[in-house]
Amino acid sequence: MLRIGNTDIKYLKGVGDARAKLLADELDIHSFRDLLYYFPFRHIDRSRFYAIADFTPDMPNVQIKGRFLRFYKEGEGAKQRLIAVFTDGRSVMEVVWFSRIKQIENAYPLNTELVLFGKPNFFKGSYSIAHPEVETYDPSTPPQGLRGVYSLTEKLRKRGITSRTIQNLVGNLFDKVADITDIIPQSVCRQFGLMPLRDALRNIHFPESLHDLKKAQERLKFEELFFIQLHILRFTKRRNSSIRGHVFPTIGEHFNRFYSEVLPFQLTDAQKRVIKEIRSDMRTGRQMNRLLQGDVGSGKTMVAFMTMLIAVDNKTQACLMAPTEILARQHYQSIAQWAEPIGVNVRLLTGSTRTKERKEIHESLIDGSLDILIGTHAVIEENVQFHNLAMVVIDEQHRFGVQQRAKLWSKNALPPHVLVMTATPIPRTLAMTLYGDLDVSVIDQLPPGRKPVMTLLRYDDNRQQVVNAVKDQLSKGRQVYIVYPLIHDNDKLSLRSLEEDYQNVCATYPGYKVCYVHGQMKADEKDHQMQLFVSGEAHIMVATTVIEVGVNVPNASVMIIENAERFGLSQLHQLRGRVGRGADQSYCILMSKRQIASATRERLEIMTQSTDGFVIAEADMKMRGPGNMEGTQQSGLAFNMRLASLATDGQMIAITRDAASDLLDANPQLYGATTSPAESSGSSLTTLSPSECNIINNELKFRFSQDTDWSRIS
């Protein structure tokens, strides 16, 4: 971008060794470039001084000229605060500090003309400002326009580094830098009307006007997303162009026989469409990497099975991995039942498979007589070797890391097709960035005859009503889940815990058997308790969120979630998915304290209004931010974004994705392909000059040098 961009920050006028170390430690600013990309988090209008009398409650950050009349302290110890009475000559207001009290008291003399910057807060009839920036008034400084405010750490403030200091340093840098070469190709800038990089950087630090600031922010946000998409798509395209996959030309005897003689119900249209999508992937010679999203109960297992049949019909083997033993066993039970009548061999391999049986399985895998293997992590152990593995299904993928996925891929010369199934709906924008390397199929339809789960919000003081409703369901032979946020009591959090409530539940529902499951139990004990519920021997299961994934007990019709206010939306949705699997009306009861924040109430109300996982996932992302979404952390690919947000920039994500894809198609050398671009494929494709390619390659290297995950899986 700029030749001196990598220059150590200590060489900038006004920095030096000591400050360089501070900037590096506190703000991760090491070079000239890092400083240029250290953007203000907001801007203050410094074109005029505001009068206290003109304050309004919704006012942004403003500057006020005046003086401190006196200081005094309130509160004790950690709660102590310093208050100053400030006047602009006409009115007075309070200024408050909660920390650095001593320094501040000594820093600002009384009755000297000062300028404060801050946001007025309206509280109990008067205005105050907390932690303003303070400067001495200098009548010789001309009025300025918008000025950036930079986030700083306590330590930097102690060492006298303020927002103003950063501004001055950036100013010094611009004095020194004659030109900044753009890192986005001219053609792309032109197509999307982007502000050139040098103007954008200047305007984000020192905007000439609000309009220029907006254009600058938009350009830099585009840049951020554009490079993320280039980064992801580069691997996808490289893989697609270099890795061959198994070609399955035919749908054969097993698939057809199953479809016409065994299939116990009609496939939904969504299931049919997804099977077609998968089928066409596997015909191309490309290796399939597909994410299958479908709400709980949408029938993903059947899709997985029919997909595996295509592999079997083409004389290869298939394997299905589940995150827990219980889930693996449930898949095995369904699939074995479907496979048996058509003569397809299926075995189950888990941690508790006996040695003798394990040996048999290993042998039949190697000699090719075993068609489908179902299991837990056990299937990716070193000693499990396949004769010809060509299809891998991974259920509930967020429990499997990228590396485990990669491990399976290397089991064979030709990598198998991979189908990753998840019941955690991921908003489209998130999928495009987090799982950008996967194609996505969606089952957006439930099998017919399902009644949506009725969801109710109930407060602790209505508990008796809930108990009566549960008794009614139990008396009809239904089963009930009760989920707690905690296993043990915790004095600090006044939450209900499983341990504390277990006896309670037993006493409240006499004559019914209660089993329990939580994350601190040994695996076999957990399985045993789970089995009690699956078999119907136990009527009530008290549990923590360990039951979240996959368990299928169609007779269970009530899900009670205690302290529902403590759970995220996606988690509540997952839990609710445990009921509503049979033909009868099911209920999900969210128990909450009556006193909750309004945002919390809003969240719980979304649950009562929608059963659509995608609607809930979108709402969840908007409320909590994409960084906290389930699956985001585990994926290890949560890109660190400064300007863009996955929650609110969906449109720009889509635009940059298309732009990045077009650019790569026109310039395959960017992802290392040797073939020249398809000549005839359109007029909008722009070929880059070698130097433009170089700039992009360097930029990608710079931005993503630490991100190794993608290269592992490509």
Considering the complex, what minimum distance in angstroms separates the CB of residue 335 from ligand ADP? 10
**DSSP letter string, 616-654:** HHHHHHHHH-GGGSTTHHHHT-----SS--TTT-HHHHH
Considering the complex, what minimum distance in angstroms separates the CB of residue 442 from ligand ADP? 12
- Between residues 364 and 545, which has the closer beta carbon with respect to ligand ADP? 545
Size of the site for ligand ADP (CB under 6 A): 16
Sign of CA dihedral 203, 208, 209, 212: negative
- Between residues 267 and 414, which has the closer beta carbon with respect to ligand ADP? 267
The token pair at 337 is 């039942």
Considering the complex, what minimum distance in angstroms separates the CB of residue 302 from ligand ADP? 5
- Between residues 552 and 635, which has the closer beta carbon with respect to ligand ADP? 552
User: Residues 673, 414, 386, CA angle at the centre, nearest 5°?
Assistant: 160
Task: Sort 586 into a burial class: Cβ within 10 Å, 0-12 / 13-18 / 19+.
Answer: buried
Task: Judge contact between 70 and 110, C-beta under 8 A.
Answer: yes
- Between residues 396 and 649, which has the closer beta carbon with respect to ligand ADP? 396
Phi first, then psi, for residue 423 (nearest 5°) are -100, 5
The token pair at 405 is 């996925």
Q: What is the distance between the alpha carbons of residues 386 and 461, in angstroms, rounded to a whole number? A: 58
Interface stretch with ligand ADP, choices 87-95, 262-270, 460-468, 637-645 (CB under 6 A): 262-270
CA atoms within 13 A on the CB side of 485: 17
- Between residues 134 and 443, which has the closer beta carbon with respect to ligand ADP? 443
Interface stretch with ligand ADP, choices 86-94, 266-274, 538-546, 637-645 (CB under 6 A): 266-274
Q: What is the distance between the alpha carbons of residues 397 and 183, in angstroms, rounded to a whole number? A: 36
- Between residues 52 and 321, which has the closer beta carbon with respect to ligand ADP? 321
Is residue 485 part of the contact set for ligand ADP (CB under 6 A)? no
Among positions 268, 293, 350, 656, the unique one binding ligand ADP when judged by CB under 6 A = 268
Is residue 246 part of the contact set for ligand ADP (CB under 6 A)? no
Bridge partner list, 587: 454, 558
Interface stretch with ligand ADP, choices 45-53, 259-267, 632-640, 706-714 (CB under 6 A): 259-267
Q: Which residue from 316, 49, 19, 282 is spatially nearest to 159, judged by alpha carbons?
A: 19
Is residue 323 part of the contact set for ligand ADP (CB under 6 A)? no
Residue type for 578, please? R
- Between residues 199 and 584, which has the closer beta carbon with respect to ligand ADP? 584
Q: What is the distance between the alpha carbons of residues 711 and 707, in angstroms, rounded to a whole number? A: 8
Considering the complex, what minimum distance in angstroms separates the CB of residue 396 from ligand ADP? 9
Interface stretch with ligand ADP, choices 61-69, 198-206, 295-303, 684-692 (CB under 6 A): 295-303
Is residue 298 part of the contact set for ligand ADP (CB under 6 A)? yes
Among positions 148, 207, 297, 416, the unique one binding ligand ADP when judged by CB under 6 A = 297
Mask: binding to ligand ADP, 138-157, rule CB under 6 A, as x and -? --------------------
Considering the complex, what minimum distance in angstroms separates the CB of residue 613 from ligand ADP? 11
Considering the complex, what minimum distance in angstroms separates the CB of residue 317 from ligand ADP? 22
Residue type for 450, please? R
Sheet of strand 514-517: strand arrangement: 454-459, 587-592, 556-561, 479-483, 540-543, 514-517
Considering the complex, what minimum distance in angstroms separates the CB of residue 448 from ligand ADP? 7
Whose CB is nearest to ligand ADP?
299
User: Residues 271, 272, 274, CA angle at the centre, nearest 5°?
Assistant: 65
Tell me the three state secondary structure of residue 490. coil
- Between residues 98 and 265, which has the closer beta carbon with respect to ligand ADP? 265
Task: Judge contact between 561 and 573, C-beta under 8 A.
Answer: no
- Between residues 210 and 583, which has the closer beta carbon with respect to ligand ADP? 583
Name the strand (E) or helix (H) holding 72. Answer: strand 62-74
Residue type for 8, please? D
Helices (H) and strands (E) counted in the chain, each on its own, are 25, 22
Mask: binding to ligand ADP, 418-457, rule CB under 6 A, as x and -? -----x-----------------------x----------
Is residue 299 part of the contact set for ligand ADP (CB under 6 A)? yes
Among positions 293, 301, 424, 635, the unique one binding ligand ADP when judged by CB under 6 A = 301
Q: How many CB atoms lie within 10 A of CB 455?
A: 24
- Between residues 203 and 301, which has the closer beta carbon with respect to ligand ADP? 301
Q: What is the distance between the alpha carbons of residues 19 and 9, in angstroms, rounded to a whole number? A: 9
Considering the complex, what minimum distance in angstroms separates the CB of residue 630 from ligand ADP? 16
Strands (E), 509-644: 514-517, 540-543, 556-561, 587-592
- Between residues 267 and 506, which has the closer beta carbon with respect to ligand ADP? 267
Task: Judge contact between 329 and 523, C-beta under 8 A.
Answer: no
Considering the complex, what minimum distance in angstroms separates the CB of residue 603 from ligand ADP? 23
- Between residues 301 and 307, which has the closer beta carbon with respect to ligand ADP? 301
CA 697 to mean position of chain CA atoms:
27
Question: 499 to 558, contacts with ligand ADP by CB under 6 A?
Answer: 552
* Alpha-carbon separation of residue 97 from 74, 101, 123, 165, 587 (angstroms): 10, 7, 16, 21, 50
Interface stretch with ligand ADP, choices 137-145, 260-268, 478-486, 563-571 (CB under 6 A): 260-268
- Between residues 237 and 300, which has the closer beta carbon with respect to ligand ADP? 300
The DSSP secondary-structure symbol of 535 reads T
Among positions 178, 265, 333, 472, the unique one binding ligand ADP when judged by CB under 6 A = 265
- Between residues 330 and 592, which has the closer beta carbon with respect to ligand ADP? 330
- What residues make contact with ligand ADP under the rule CB under 6 A? 265-268, 271, 294, 296-302, 423, 447, 552
